[in-house]
Each structure stands twice: as structure tokens, then as C-alpha cells.
Chains A and B, each alone.
Chain A
């Protein structure tokens, strides 16, 4: 990566821009606590991941009181619900506070109530997992039934998230009344989009869970399995795009500032955001390509819905590389590719999101492959899928979050990033990259050879095919071991930056748009209209399968405990 020559002194940005306002102590407290929870979840979830990886390679036999599926449930819940939700909310609340002149007092209160609801919900969900009463994995597909308290916990988490979403909407509405006719600052614009998706995307799962609670209590006898799965993925797929949109916000807005450039066209950025919000929810069907009960033509048409998301993603890729090239050339980079040397590879705040973006190239390509009917038959429910999301969420999204943490945590703590921690971060990023190359690479490959996901170690009575997976699973374990080193370093960096680093002012790095002289058209601000468009597309996507699942439902299923 040609890095060494050019270790950038990480602390100051160009000083003339964005006078840092500093964040009020009360607003900072919210983001700080959310970050603490997020990175604690990373630490716990990471160790559980390591145990899984070692188990699958046949290196670790789990004790009888802790089974593989229990751990896997906790790993999934901790990393894709707790880590991502808390990071996203903490990050965007800091952005709202910075952009909009502080949070309103009642919004702050809502963020805390939301926090309490999520934590209580989390406790409700974790206790049954620990008692092996909820080893249903984070997708909790019926007819597997967990203890009802697990579902009650999930409901509370959803309600807590809604609290935060409404808080954000109130703050934005308040700002817009005070600043008539102006465009919302870009990062708050992303925040609005993310909270819109969080709210509307979690409605389906809330409905699902409300049917599962009476069922697992035994008050109702059966549940409609296909309906539940569909409602789950309407949410699950949206959640994926929420992470993605959060990461993308940093790529568009933060990264250009860190490399000393300007961000891509404001109008196009907002159009990408609108597209991602509007087209999102019906994409959920690509998780159900193998499911029965959906006719072939309907599945076929849903491939379009799913691929439509590739379009804003490609626009993003174009925008990013255009910003990099322009900035680096301005700094004197020459030649077809020589400009890349001018980028600050030694600055973790750039390096981590940059590798995240690069990882999204194979990640996105794999996603496009999976979403086609025939290839999905090969990849479905194999370790390929697990490799895919460790590359997309576990690398593209999470590395971006890590990169953000190196300025966000100091910013909300009134401290500064030291060169030492920067170096630690660079090494952490490289370790994470290597670990994921091993782990995700091995998962992809062995998945194509047929190794199933969500299966604790077994040789299937020394079946030859199953034995042939072993070498790859060993690579998986090696990758997992590297990753846990990365986890520990990252968590250390976050806590150091929050409580130990030297005091000082850190800037909130927001780049100016390259077309800032041009006024962004106001229709990009009409969220009410965009939400209606989104609802129309959801209606179009879901009417056929839902009418079918409900109108022609087979007998429902009673609850099963399969573990």
C-alpha cells in the first residue's frame, strides 16, 4: 500500500474550515454511552465468533452447558443488532447535534428513554439465550420457537429504536422551521433517511413478533410460517441497507474531508440517498429465493427489485473514485494511477474506510451473483453466505465504523487522537483485513464445496466430502484468530480515546460539496412525498405474496424446540 513514506500527522485538519463548535456535554453523553455499548458488544460478540470459528475447524469442543447454536444466536444478536444499532444511533445523534445546533431537550430525553428500552429489551432477550431457551439464531424463524420473553425483548428493542427515530424527526422538523427553505445539512440528511428506514423497516418485524408472542406462550396454536419469514426479511434486508447507508454517509461526507478534498455533488448525493430509501424494502425477497410458495414469475420480477440497489451503489463507487482522483491530482499526483500515492494511507481515519470501500467491490459482486436464481441454489445456506456478510457487514460496514470511531470518540469526549493510537489503528485495520481475507475467503470457497452454514463441527461419519472441507475450515479458524486480535485492539483504542487520551478539541470532519455554489433543488427535502413513493413500492412488492400466503395459507405450525 505504499504507506510508510507518508505517515500523516493525524491531528489537525486544515484549520480554516468548519470551526468546531464543540458538542454540549449533555449531547455528548448520549453518543458516548451508545458507543460504549456498541464496542462492548463487539468485544463479547467477537469472542463468541472466535469460539465458533475454532469449533468449526474441529479445534474446540464446546462444554455441554454451552452449545454452538446458543453462541451463534448471541453472536448474531450482539453484532448485527446491538453493535450496529447502537453505533448508528450514537453516530447520527452526534451528527444531528453538530449540524442542527444541539439536540432539543425533549429529544435528548427521548434518546435516553429509547436507550433504556433497548437495554431492558436486550436483557429480556439475553436471559433466555443464556438459559438455552432461545437458540433460534438471530433470524428466529418459526416454527422454531423461543421463550416468549425473547420476543418481548425484541419488541422492546424495536420500540426503543422508534423513540430515537421520532426524536431525530422532531429535531429535524424544528431546525427546518427555523431555517426555512434551506437544505438540511448533508449528514443530518443521511440521518433522516436512516431513521425513516429504521422506522418503516421495523414495522413488519414488529407485526411478526406480535404474532409469535401469543404463539410461544401457547395462547394461539399455530403460526403462518411463510408470512413470518416474509415479514422478517422485509425488516432484515432493510437493516442491511441501514448499515450500508450509514457507512456510505461517511464515504460521501467524511472521507473527502480527511483527505483534504471536497465531497461529490450535493444533489447527486441526495438523489442516491432517496433511491436507497425508496427502493429498499421490497428487496427482502432475495433472501427467500429458495422459499416455497412464491411463484417463479414473482421471484423473477423481484430480481429486478434486488438488482435495482446495485445502481445507486455503482453511482457511489463512481463518486468516490472521482473524489479521490481529483483530490490527489490537486496535490500533484500524476499518471493514470500514480495519484493514489498522494492519499493519506497512514491515517487510520482514511485507511479503514478506504479498505472498507475496496472490500465492497467483491462484496457487492458476490451479492449480485447470489441474487440470481440459479446461483442462489448453489450458495443458499452454505458458508458462502456467511463469507458474504462478513465481507459486507463485517468488513465494509464495520471497518467504516472503526474509521469513524478514531475521530468521533475523541470528538464526543473532548480529547484528541494521538499519533500512537493512529498507528495502532492502522495496524488494527491491516490485521482486520488479513483476518477477513482468510476467514471470509475460506468461507466463500468451502461454501461452494457444499459446507453448510449454521452447523457445528461434524464430519458426517467421516464422509469424504465433509472431510475435504477441513483444510478450508482451518483457514477460517486462522482468520478468526487474527480477527480477535483486531477486536481487542479496536476496543482498546475506543476506550483509550474516550477516557485516557490527551484533552483537546477534535473537529467534526464534514467536507464541503464540490458544487456548493449551486443550490440543491428543494424537492430533495420533501420527505413526506418520498415516503409515500416508498409505501407505493412496498405495496407493489408485497401485495402478491402476502395475499397468497394469507389467502391460501396451509395449516399453520405449532411451536417446535429443535435444540
Chain B
């Protein structure tokens, strides 16, 4: 079947989608957006977290056909999403094209400092706080953390833990992740 939906602000279409396929599979294998990670395919790890009509969900548990006509934001579109939010006005040229999204890493970024890359505040905070080790859990955590900061600009530690309780990390021990989200919240409130 064919599925039409909005991905990172741009209309997209996926062809030859098997009816039992997940949204995660469509994003990674049909649209070439490997940012959302596939680790468990059973909702346990959160590494496939995307926004579906604004709501964080495990894309591995959304049937592709359920995304028809809906809006999806993946980690590749997070910088643009955050920019839109900051501007709070649409200027018509918003969104992230598939090519931009696929080539996201290649924009002269220094992967250690994030310099030269388009990053959302929460992405920059993860780099600055050292919250990324192997990085497999990072995209899901970024999407979940960014959504929480949108809803709750000054979260308590308990709020952060709760919001990230569906995302597993096997490397960091979570402390640096907590630091990163606190940092992003602090910078957000200072308007940096």
C-alpha cells in the first residue's frame, strides 16, 4: 500500500508498504531516515521515539497505515522543529526535506563539539554535557526530552526522570543525560 504523511514538516509518500509494517520501518528503510533507532521492536527501549501529531510514541508500535495523513517529527527534524518553536511563526519555508534530513550529519559538523551543525538546544546540551556515549539511545532521548521541555520549561529532576522513563541507555548511567536536560532547560529559560 501507499502511505502519505508529513515528515519533519514536508509531505512525503512511501510506496510498497507492507500492511503489517511499522512506522519505524517506513522511516528507516523506505524514506532513508535512520535517525530513529531500531533496538527492541517491542516498545521497551524508546530508541525509536518520534512525535506523531505532536505526541511522543514508539514508532515501532505504530502501524504504517496509522500514520496516513498524520505529522511525524523525527530526530532529523528536531533542529528545525525547535527553531520553529522559538520563532513561533511559520514563514512558509519551514520543514526539513528528505535530502537535508538524510545528509544531516554532513554539514561540516564536528561530531565532538557539534560545531557547524544545525542543532536544537537539547542536542547541543547533550554534546556539551557528555551525555552521548555509543549514541544508540540518543535520538529517542532527544525527541522525548525536547517534547518535555516544550510542555514543561522548568522541569524538576522527578519530571525529567518520568519523561525519560521510557528510554533505556546502556552506556551512560543516565547522570550525564540528566545533566544535559537540566542544561537545556537552564539555557532555554535564559533565552540562550
The answer to whether A and B interact is no
**Chain A contact residues, CB within 8 Å of chain B:** none
**Chain B contact residues, CB within 8 Å of chain A:** none
